[in-house]
Amino acid sequence: MSNVLILGANGSIARYAIDMFLNNTDAQLTLYLRNSRRLKDMDSNRVRVIEGDVLNLEQLKEAMMGKDVVYANLAGDLEKYAKNIVEAMDTTGVKRLIFIGSMGIYDEVPGEKYGSVLEPYRKSVAIIEASDLDYTILRPAWFTNKNEIDYETTQKGESFKGYEVSRKSVADLVVKLAVTPELEVRRSLGVNKPE
Report domain extents, the chain. 3-192
| pTM, 2 dp | 0.97
pLDDT at 111: 85
Angle of the 119-129 helix axis to the 78-92 helix axis, nearest 10: 20
pLDDT of residue 44: 85
Which pLDDT value is given to residue 72? 98
Please tell me the number of Cα atoms within 13 Å of 126 on its side-chain side: 10
The list of the chain residues with pLDDT below 70 reads none
100 three-class SS:
strand
Cα(40)–Cα(187) distance, rounded to whole angstroms? 33
Q: Angle at Cα 155 formed by Cα 174 and Cα 99, nearest 5°? A: 35
Q: What are phi and psi of 64, to 5 degrees?
A: -80, -20
Which pLDDT value is given to residue 43?
Answer: 72
What 144-147 contacts at long range (C-beta under 8 Å, 24+ apart), as own/partner pairs, is: 144/193
Give CA–CA dist 167/117, Å, rounded: 21
Give the pLDDT score at 193.
98
Contact 78, 123 (CB under 8 A): yes
3-192: CATH topology: Rossmann fold (3.40.50)
- Element spanning 20, H or E: helix 12-24
DSSP class per residue in 46-96: TEEEEE--TT-HHHHHHHHTT-SEEEE---S-HHHHHHHHHHHHHHHT--E
